[in-house]
Structure 1
Amino acid sequence: MGQVLVLNASYEPLNITTWRRAVVMMLKGKAESLEHDPCRQLRQGTNLPTVIRLRQYVRVPFRQLPLTRRNLFQRDNHTCQYCGSRENQLSIDHVMPRSRGGGDTWENVTTACLSCNVRKGNRTPREASMPLRHVPRRPASSLSFEARRQIHSGHHQEWAKYVIGA
């Protein structure tokens, strides 16, 4: 808990911060509270914020989400992209096998259960007659990716209206 979604003045998600930092920004007049937790209060009787918006627009450089095993499984919703199974142990499959020039990129790796990965082997999905359920793509941004993870895990449902694709 204790996490606060920070929106730019234009209502674009900027960051996820602690409630302490959010309260300090509000007290300094740099941000306003848009959503709050009715169950948690500060000593003064003020509800803790869960979404704040900056009063001044801030330009932020784009950061790409790193390709990690955890991020890949999250992108694919912990589901085999060949058979749709969520029960079996998952592994990482290269759509174009590495031995045939395929690289470690968001567009070339996908989640597969062990049996599908072995069955596909050193072939492309087309050669193995195993079509992918979703075309692998790079996630939009690391912030929206993390925010969607928080929303789908049951935390911070109120963030959904501020995060595209949540």
Structure 2
Amino acid sequence: MQSLLNESVLVLNRHWTAVHVTSVRRALVLVFSEHARVVSEDFSTHDFGSWREFSRMSESVKKISTPAFQVLLPEVVMLTQFNRFPPRSVKFSRRNIYLRDNHTCQYCGCLPPKDELTIDHVIPRSRGGKSVWENVVLACMKCNMRKGSLLVNQAGMKLLSVPRKPHWLSCAQYNLRPPNESSLWQKFIDAAYWNSSLHE
């Protein structure tokens, strides 16, 4: 039962926009305390009582049992109060650089283990390069050593893609991966992905 309580649940704001991922345990607490409602496959929403009744009639085996009743694991909950959108800026962090560059060396395209990737400054710090989105890329150790403190063209190398600050939604996509292909999440994440505006 512990592992079921730790499964992921997609959290929507009142505008039906994905804003967070939480555990089943936290989602059920939010629903029980009337801070959220469970969203079902047909997009109807349920408070705790109606979700309990819905669970009773369901043939699904993904239920949590208590001494008094069983309740289905929610996949998606919608907050009843929160109607803001998630922050639109992406934090400049090692994790987000790895996500932006898809754990891939931006010089040779190889996909080494995480501990064999480095963060390289396109314009080296020794030449005044700053630690900003537009000046850092992932590089395998071999490419990083080859480039050293040279500029990319001086090292006879090319970047596979120009480093840019990522759009918040592209990073959110990595955090909002559905637990399975048939997941209800897909209906919300795909819509957010395809309806987001693109920037040059």
Q: TM-score range by the shorter chain?
A: 0.7 to 0.9
TM-fit CA distance, 1:54:
2.5
**Distance (whole Å) between structure 1 residues aligned to residue 144 and residue 35 of structure 2:** 51
Query: Could you say which structure has the higher strand fraction?
Result: 1
1:155 aligns with 2:156: no
User: Mind listing any 5+ residue stretches in structure 1 that lack a counterpart?
Assistant: none
1:48 aligns with 2:53: no
Alignment partner, residue 139 of structure 2? 112
Supply the RMSD in Å over aligned alpha carbons.
2.9
Query: Could you say which structure has the higher helix fraction?
Result: 2
Alignment partner, residue 82 of structure 1? 107
Check whether the contact 2:99–2:174 (CA below 8 A) recurs between aligned residues. no
User: For residue 8 of structure 1, what is the amino acid of its counterpart?
Assistant: N
User: For residue 23 of structure 1, what is the amino acid of its counterpart?
Assistant: L
Q: What is the DSSP-based 3-state SS (H/G/I as helix, E as strand, rest coil) of the residue aligned with 1:112?
A: strand
Aligned length: 162
Identical aligned residues as a percent: 40
Alignment partner, residue 19 of structure 1? 24
TM-score, normalising length: structure 1: 0.77
Q: What is the DSSP-based 3-state SS (H/G/I as helix, E as strand, rest coil) of the residue aligned with 1:49?
A: coil
CA 1:149–1:95: 2 relative to 1, 3 Å: same
Q: In structure 1, which of residues 133, 136, 145 is the aligned counterpart of residue 171 of structure 2?
A: 145
CA 1:118–1:139: 2 relative to 1, 3 Å: same
User: Mind listing any 5+ residue stretches in structure 2 that lack a counterpart?
Assistant: 1-5, 42-59, 195-200
Check whether the contact 1:13–1:144 (CA below 8 A) recurs between aligned residues. no
Check whether the contact 1:50–1:156 (CA below 8 A) recurs between aligned residues. no
